[in-house]
Chain A
Amino acid sequence: MDTSRLNILRCMGTALLAVAVCGSATMPSSGAAPPTSPIRIEKVWARPGVAAPAGAHGSGTTMGPGTSAIYMIIHNTGPDGDRLMRADADVATAVELHETRMEGGMSRMHMVPAIAVPPRGQVELRPGGLHIMLLGLKRDLKENDRFPATLHFERAGAVVVEVPVRMSAP
């Protein structure tokens, strides 16, 4: 079988799988956009992290230790593309949009100005990729804790999510 046909089959398989997964998913427990919003948040979680000790600022840093990252799948059921512009969370002193990339065996992080969500599509924030970075944690985030975060979309506006703290993706 030639490569292109294989690829087509593979794509079809993936598409079917995606339909099956989306179809079987119940209302995302953590998504909280208004019922009319085309934005749906699924599989949101954050990794554990410890609060920065008071006054502990390493040389060269403004924020010191105490970080976490939020991951999720953002679905857009609408006909228009949207963009996640920023996020807020009371547990952190600063919240930024970052992307980790592997370059030549090294893990590198970059800030990104916004995260695009394609029309009738989705974007996945996941370890080793796009994530919402929490800097300067004000309290420890332990496994099974939960905290609220607000996502600000260019079109859909604010979406509040309840973020569970986990070791790995749900």
Chain B
Amino acid sequence: MSRWIAAGLLVLLVAACQRPAFRGRVLDPPRPVPALTLNDQHGRPFDLAGQRDRVVLVFFGYTRCPDVCPLTLGVFRQVAEMLGTDAARVRFVFVTVDPEVDTPAFLERYLRLFHPEFVGLTGSPDALAATYQFFGAAFEKVPVPKSAAGYLVAHSTHVAVIDRQGRWRLTLSHQATADDVAHDVRRLLRE
């Protein structure tokens, strides 16, 4: 037992020495984000690849989502507070996977609950599909006839982190704490 723990620690130690200690999963090599132009909650075009010099956190969800989505947005808000003035160098982005319900106007009201600067994206079916595909966002509508909701959306919950060079560098799990996210963002901002 203890031998395994020691071996495990050694592996972790070696891993820690070999690469910068990000808390998220590192994409190696990083993947340059293609031009993916969606529209924000104010109807303005927003290019995920065109936010140079900013770190971009991208989360896929829907406004009727009961807890994973709002909690991730809650974490984003904590991160924004922890970063202080550096928060201006970060884009916090929520991409809807339920565009029929999540209109720009509704996204605007929803995101305002969390932070006035958060970006809510929707767009044409093609543009959204290309975005989901690139970031590996998976979701499906699940009919729930007994529920007043009619259907619920099963969805992937990771946060993709784009570095200042417009490359997808890290993936954070929805269990990442605000401290974890702020740690990795600060690291990317220092590069």
Residues of A within 8 A of B (CB): 1-3, 47-50, 53, 56, 58-69, 71, 93-94, 96, 98, 100, 102-103, 105-109, 111, 127-128, 131, 133, 135-136, 140, 142-143, 167-168
Contact = CB atoms under 8 A, between A and B. Distances in A.
Interface stretch (B24-32, B40-48, B82-90, B153-161): B153-161
A7 to B, nearest CB: 12
B63 interface: yes
Given A65-B106, A94-B149, 16 more contacts: A1-B1, A50-B113, A56-B103, A61-B149, A61-B151, A63-B150, A64-B101, A65-B110, A67-B64, A67-B65, A98-B66, A100-B66, A109-B152, A142-B113, A143-B113, A168-B74
A47 B68 CA distance: 11
Contacts of A56: 101, 103, 106
Contacts of B148: 62-63, 93-94, 96, 135-136
B50 interface: no
A82 to B, nearest CB: 23
A168 B101 CA distance: 25
A128 B174 CA distance: 10
Contacts of A47: 67, 70-71, 74
A52 B9 CA distance: 51
A48 B101 CA distance: 18
18 contacts: A48-B70, A49-B70, A60-B151, A65-B101, A65-B106, A67-B63, A67-B66, A100-B66, A105-B156, A106-B138, A106-B156, A107-B155, A107-B156, A107-B174, A108-B152, A128-B71, A133-B149, A167-B114
